[in-house]
Every structure is written in C-alpha cells, then in structure tokens.
Amino acid sequence: MSITALLAPTSIFLDLAKISETPLLVYQPVEVAAQYQLLTKALPYVEHHFAIKSLPSAAAIKTIRDLDGYFDIATNGEIDLLRDAQVNPEHCIHTHPIKRLQDINYALDYGVKHFIVENPAEILKFRGFGERVVLILRVAFENNLAACNLSAKFGCAQADCRDLIQLAQSLNLTIGGISFHVGSQMPSSKVHQEAINWANNLYLELQEEGIFFSLLDIGGGFPARYTSQDIDLVTFLAEIKLPLDRFHHNFPDCRILSEPGRCLAAPALSLITQIVGKKYKNGQTWYYIDDGVYGSFSGVIYDHQRHIVAPLINSTAHCYSSVIAGPTCDSIDIIDDQAILPDMEIGDYLITHNIGAYSMATATDFNFVPRAKLLVFGQ
C-alpha cells in the first residue's frame, strides 16, 4: 500500500456528507498505514501489535494485515475479526489479563500461543497446557501522568515477579518475559523509559540466576496528537529508542513487542455530523448535533478526551464560544461547552478529525440514536 495516496480534502468530506446520511465516520487506511510505518521505521526491531480494542474494525485490521503487521487481542470477538481477515495467528498475542478457560481455548484453537498473566489464579488456569503456551507476566507501573491509568486494575507488583515466575516454573509453564502498560496517552516518554530500564535490569539479574527470557512487551500508551500540546510521536519514539537500544544490545535474541492502539487509531477516523437544533442560553449559542457522548464522542466520557468540532466548510466569520450537545435526552450529553464556532445554522455540517481511538469502539445505542455509519475512503 502506498502512503503517498492523497488524504481526503474538505470537498470530499462534503460530497460524502451529501450522499450519505450523517453521522458518518470516514476511515482513511492511508492514515493508519502511515502511522504504522512510522512506528516500524522509528523502532525497526520492535513488533508492533495493533491493539484492536482501540478501533475494532475489519477495515483497520485489513490495513495492518496488508503491512504484514501484528495484533493485540483481548476478546473472542476480536479473534473472529482476525479469523475473517485470515490473519496469521503467529502475529497475535492475547493481552487480556483475566480470561475464562473457554477464552483460552478459543485463542488456542485459532493458533495464538502468547498470553498475558498477572496473578497466581490466572497462571493456574494454564496448568497442563505445557509447551502449547508462552506466558507473559504483566507488571504494574503506577504513574499519575497518563490520561488513562492502566495499572490501577491490572499488573502485578514488581516485587511479586519472582514468586509468579517460580509458580509458573513449578507448573512446567514458560514465562516468555515481562509486559507492562504504563498508561494511555502519555504526555512524555519518561515512564516508558523508566519501565524499559527497570526491565533491562531485571532481565540482567535473572540471567545471572540462569533464567533467560525470549521477549519483552512494552505495551501501548504511545500518544496521539490531539492538540499541539501533545508530544509528537516521532519525538516520543526517538526518546524511548535510547533505553530500547540498550536493551536490544544486551539481549539481541529477545523479541521486543509493543501494543499501540490510540496512536494508530486516532488519525484513522474523521466524523461528519450535522446541526439538528439551535438555541441561545446564558449568552452562548447551543448547537444540538446528530452524534454525541453516547455515540462517536464516547471518548469524552470514557477517555477524558476533548475533541475539536469545526465547521466542515471553512469560514472567516467571527467565532464565539458555543456549546455543542448530542442528540440524546441526557444532560450529560454535552460534547464541548467551549467550542469556538462561527454563527451556524440547522443543517450545516461539522467535522471532527482524529476521533478514531476508543470512539466507535465504545459507542452505544442509548435512546435508539443510530450509531454513525463507517465509510472507507481510499485503499
């Protein structure tokens, strides 16, 4: 796939809005391909496993598959998507720390071998699986920098690693290595660097004790660029490359895996919405649109995300602080109470770029408001 293919210009979004009902999510494969190739170029020895949960769409899976990419699976539904796309199961890891036995078997039947664990009961579920599985131990890295903390629910204490490794060994199970997810939408590379350095030291210590790991999984958390305040991905990757180079030098035979979701998914989707209502209240204009926080803007609630909603047709008119609200009857359904917009009318179109991550993935049918349709633009 060529990433030099043109991205959709405004006129295309306008044409799409006119021929298709809104709300409309436009998926651009070139955006995902460009981001994936950027990851691969910046960290060539890392196998980047696309976290499907961030954008569980067949189109996104096809884009990554066609780049010979890798996948991070969390559920049986995600396995079904991969099976439909005939993805090589050897390119997949199962990263849900808590699985039912039938989930483990479902993944094994597909051909997945690598599973994340983080507590004794989960390790015990693999008793008897022997060499059919390689376990990866997820360690928590608490920090208060991430937009979404992913160590509150999962990850063993660093001090518990050795006991869990011993437990697995006593059951004739292989621990392939350590994984962590230091948190989603990290504002800097600091915690990733610390975690990689910590893993490097642990692997050196374990090597002295005769324990050799075959992989290190550095998780996700690579940032998307929602605003110019967010660290740019190239800088972020260059910074984590320093400790990774050291690790790679010390352990040249160790595979290094990552699980990026947001940085691949966010730029993949643009959302076209339409104004369906308008009123004035307390000095602000309120615009009611046909998608909201129970739909494609779910990230406002679940992901602490502020999305930029702009007129689809550029305007040079004076702009005002306005409120943009969604279509449901719930008062929480407010997308932005300080949107900067010109005076607009019912029927006008709005556009939100960079809305691919954890948006359609967590949208609901609340109030029977139809979810946005997904349209693929380009190949």
Ligand X SMILES: Cc1ncc(COP(=O)(O)O)c(C=O)c1O
Catalytic residue list = 329
At residue 226, φ and ψ (nearest 5 deg) are: -80, -40
Q: CA–CA separation, 216 vs 143, rounded Å?
A: 20
Structure tokens at 52: 């499907």
Per-residue x/- track, 154-193, ligand X (CB under 6 A): ---------------------------x--x---------
51 makes contact with ligand X (CB under 6 A): yes
Residue from 69, 261, 326, 356 touching ligand X (CB under 6 A): that is 261
Is there a contact between 307 and 299 (Cβ–Cβ < 8 Å)? yes
Taking the least distance from each CB to ligand X, the nearer of 22 and 95 is 95
Taking the least distance from each CB to ligand X, the nearer of 259 and 333 is 259
Is there a contact between 260 and 223 (Cβ–Cβ < 8 Å)? no
- Smallest gap from Cβ 181 to ligand X, in A, equals 5
User: Within 68-127, which residues bind ligand X (CB under 6 A)?
Assistant: 72, 95
Q: How far is CA 257 from CA 28, 70, 95, 203, in A?
A: 25, 9, 12, 15
Q: Looking at the chain, which runs of residues are DSSP E strands?
A: 24-27, 46-51, 70-73, 92-94, 114-117, 134-138, 174-179, 215-217, 255-258, 269-281, 284-289, 310-311, 319-325, 334-342, 349-352, 373-376
Taking the least distance from each CB to ligand X, the nearer of 95 and 285 is 95
Q: CA–CA separation, 307 vs 231, rounded Å?
A: 17
- Smallest gap from Cβ 261 to ligand X, in A, equals 3
**Stretches 193-201, 256-264, 274-282, 286-294: which one binds ligand X (CB under 6 A)?**
256-264
Q: CA–CA separation, 371 vs 44, rounded Å?
A: 38
Taking the least distance from each CB to ligand X, the nearer of 16 and 182 is 182
150 makes contact with ligand X (CB under 6 A): yes
Is there a contact between 122 and 99 (Cβ–Cβ < 8 Å)? yes
Taking the least distance from each CB to ligand X, the nearer of 239 and 342 is 239
267 makes contact with ligand X (CB under 6 A): no
Taking the least distance from each CB to ligand X, the nearer of 218 and 325 is 218
Residue from 259, 290, 291, 333 touching ligand X (CB under 6 A): that is 259
222 makes contact with ligand X (CB under 6 A): yes
Q: Report how many residues bind ligand X under the rule CB under 6 A.
A: 16
Taking the least distance from each CB to ligand X, the nearer of 33 and 369 is 33
Which residues does residue 174 pair with via DSSP β-bridges, in sequence order? Answer: 134
Which residues does residue 137 pair with via DSSP β-bridges, in sequence order? Answer: 117, 178
Q: How far is CA 83 from CA 66, 71, 112, 244, in A?
A: 14, 12, 11, 32
260 makes contact with ligand X (CB under 6 A): yes
**Stretches 48-56, 298-306, 321-329, 345-353: which one binds ligand X (CB under 6 A)?**
48-56
**61: helix, coil or strand?**
helix
221 makes contact with ligand X (CB under 6 A): yes
Residue from 69, 220, 243, 292 touching ligand X (CB under 6 A): that is 220
Per-residue x/- track, 5-44, ligand X (CB under 6 A): ----------------------------------------
- Smallest gap from Cβ 95 to ligand X, in A, equals 4
Burial of 35 by CB count in 10 Å (0-12 exposed, 13-18 middle, 19+ buried)? buried
The Cβ of residue 59 has, within 10 Å, a number of other Cβ atoms equal to: 17
135 makes contact with ligand X (CB under 6 A): no
Residue from 22, 28, 35, 54 touching ligand X (CB under 6 A): that is 54
**191: helix, coil or strand?**
helix
359 makes contact with ligand X (CB under 6 A): no
- Smallest gap from Cβ 352 to ligand X, in A, equals 18
Burial of 251 by CB count in 10 Å (0-12 exposed, 13-18 middle, 19+ buried)? buried
Query: Which residues of the shown chain bind ligand X in the complex (CB under 6 A)?
Result: 51, 53-54, 72, 95, 150, 181, 184, 219-222, 259-262
